[in-house]
Amino acid sequence: MLVQKYSVQRSKLSRSRKETLDELSHLRQEMMNEIDSEVEEVDEQITEHETDLILIAMLENKVQDIDHALAAIESGRYENCERCGQPIEPKRLAAKPDARLCISCQEEVDLVGS
């Protein structure tokens, strides 16, 4: 019954997961093709390589967040903030289906992390 209740969110998450995995695959393939032995282009290639590595890490984190949200749907924990236990606002889940925290907790975490 929970899975049916969240069919829209599950569909969005699954689609986002596929798109993210496709982007990861493309970036990884691109990185393999970037290596060039031209000395004058080495610095630029290193910068591009570092940027790609950062993007890959961010996309891998996104896949983990999506997988976590899908597991939360299955277990019945989907609408609850992992920090305070209160319901996550429906507008927040509509905008960010893989949200783990309510807006208040997210703001506090972001403030501490800054």
| pLDDT value, residue 71 | 95
pLDDT in tens, 61-107: 999 999 999 999 999 899 999 999 999 999 999 999 999 999 999 99
Contacts of 104 (CB under 8 A, 6+ apart): 84
CA-derived radius of gyration, the chain:
18
Model's pTM, two decimal places? Answer: 0.80
- Sequence length of the chain is 114
